[in-house]
Chain A
Amino acid sequence: MRLELDIFDIKDIQFAEKTFLKDGVLYINRDEMREILETDARISRVDIELVHPGDKSRILQVADVIEPRAKISKDGGIPDPVGQGQTSVLRGAAIVLSDYRDMGDVTTSKDPNGEIIDMSGPAAEIGIYGRTHNIVLMPQSGDRVTALDYQAALKVAGLKAAEYLAKVGEALEPDEVELYELPNLTEITSGMKNLPKVTYIFQIMSLQFEPIPGEPVLYGSQADRIVPTILHPNEILDGAVTSPLPALNVQTYQIQNHPIIRELYQRHGKDLCFAHVIVMTAPNNVSEFERVAGITAGIAKGVIGADAAILTKTGGGAPELVMARTAQRCEQAGIKTAIAMLHMGADISDAKFGASTIFSMPEVDAIVSMGFPFMELTLPPVDKIIGRPGLLQEESPINGEVVKAIRWIKGSQCQLGGSALKAVRY
Chain B
Amino acid sequence: MRVVHYLNQFFGGIGGEDKAHVGATVVEGPVGPGRGIQKELGDLGEVVATVMCGDNYFAENIEKASAEVMELLSPFNPDVVIAGPAFLAGRYGIACGAVCQAVQDRFSVPAVTGMHGENPGLDLYRRDVYIVETADSVRGMPQALSKMVTLAGRLAEKQKIGRPSEEAYFPRGLLVNEISDQIGAKRVVDMLLRKLQGQSFESEVSRPSYDRVTPAPAIADMQKASIAMVTDGGLVPKGNPDKIEIRTATRFGRYSIKGIDTLNPEAYEVNHEGYDSVFVREDPHRLVPLDVMRDFEREGLIHKLHETFYSTTGVANIVDTVRQMGEKIAHELKAEGVSGVILTST
Contacts and interface: CB of A to CB of B under 8 A. Distances in A.
Interface string A301-339: 000000110100000110000000000000000001111
B126 interface: yes
Given A346-B318, A353-B319, A356-B175, A307 B196 contact: yes
A420 B177 contact: no
A349 interface: yes
A351 B318 contact: no
Contact of B185 (A147, A259, A366, A422): A259
A308 B74 CA distance: 61
A417 interface: yes
A368 B188 contact: yes
Nearest to B170: A351
Contacts of B205: 341, 343, 356-357, 367-369, 423
Interface of A, helix, strand, loop or mixed by DSSP = loop
B173 A348 contact: yes
Given A367-B204, A417-B183, A272 B193 contact: yes
Interface string A409-426: 000001011111111111
B156 interface: no
Interface string A359-371: 0111011111111
Interface string B192-218: 110110000101111111100000000
B300 interface: no
A306 to B, nearest CB: 11
A349 B320 contact: yes
Interface stretch (B11-19, B221-229, B273-281, B290-298): B273-281
A425 B171 contact: yes
Interface stretch (A16-24, A31-39, A104-112): A104-112
A209 interface: yes
A426 B163 contact: yes
B243 to A, nearest CB: 14
A262 B191 contact: no
Nearest to B167: A426
B186 interface: yes
B275 A208 contact: yes
A368 B208 CA distance: 15
Contacts of B187: 340, 368, 417, 422
Contacts of A351: 123, 126-127, 170-173
Given A259-B185, A426-B164, A354 B195 contact: no
A338 B204 CA distance: 11
Contacts of A340: 184-185, 187-188
Nearest to A362: B207
B43 interface: no
Interface in B142-190: 161, 163-164, 170-189
Contact of B173 (A147, A350, A420): A350
B138 interface: no
Given A417-B183, A425-B174, A355 B208 contact: yes
B208 A370 contact: no
Given A107-B276, A422-B177, A422-B180, A338 B123 contact: no
A302 to B, nearest CB: 20
Given A210-B276, A352-B123, A365-B203, A259 B174 contact: no
A263 B187 CA distance: 10
A366 B201 contact: yes
A425 B275 contact: no
A420 B180 CA distance: 5
B77 interface: no
Given A196-B196, A369-B204, A417-B184, A210 B273 contact: no
B267 interface: no
B318 A420 contact: no
A372 interface: yes
A414 B188 CA distance: 13
Contacts of B126: 351
Contacts of A310: 188-189, 192
A353 B209 CA distance: 6
B248 interface: yes
B179 A354 contact: no
A419 B184 contact: yes
B246 A263 contact: no
Contacts of B184: 259, 340, 368-370, 414, 417-422
Contacts of B276: 107-108, 208-210
Interface string A227-270: 00000000000000000000000000000000110111001000
Contacts of B109: none
Contacts of A196: 193, 196
Contacts of B127: 348-349, 351
A80 interface: no
A417 B185 contact: yes
A381 B318 CA distance: 33
A173 interface: no
Contact of B316 (A308, A346, A362): A346
A356 B278 CA distance: 29
A345 interface: yes
A198 B318 contact: no
B330 interface: no
Contacts of B174: 347, 425-426
A208 B345 CA distance: 12
Pick from B127, B173, B180, B191 the residue with the most CB of A within 10 Å.
B173
A424 B123 CA distance: 20
Given A353-B320, A355-B318, A422 B188 contact: no
B70 interface: no
Pick from A107, A210, A262 the residue with the most CB of B within 10 Å.
A107
Contacts of A414: 184
Nearest to A337: B192
Given A344-B316, A417-B183, A349 B173 contact: yes
B315 interface: yes
B321 interface: yes
A356 B277 CA distance: 25
A336 B248 CA distance: 33
A194 to B, nearest CB: 12
A372 B247 CA distance: 14
B125 to A, nearest CB: 10
Interface in A84-138: 107-110
Which 6 A/B pairs are nearest by Cβ-Cβ distance? A351-B173, A417-B185, A417-B184, A259-B185, A338-B192, A369-B204
Given A210-B276, A418-B185, A421-B180, 18 more contacts: A107-B278, A263-B185, A263-B189, A310-B189, A316-B316, A337-B192, A343-B205, A351-B171, A351-B173, A356-B208, A370-B184, A374-B316, A417-B183, A417-B187, A421-B178, A422-B179, A422-B180, A422-B204
10 contacts: A107-B276, A198-B192, A210-B276, A259-B184, A340-B188, A349-B173, A351-B173, A353-B319, A368-B204, A425-B206
Interface of B: 123, 126-127, 161, 163-164, 170-189, 191-193, 195-196, 201, 203-210, 246, 248, 273-279, 281, 315-316, 318-321
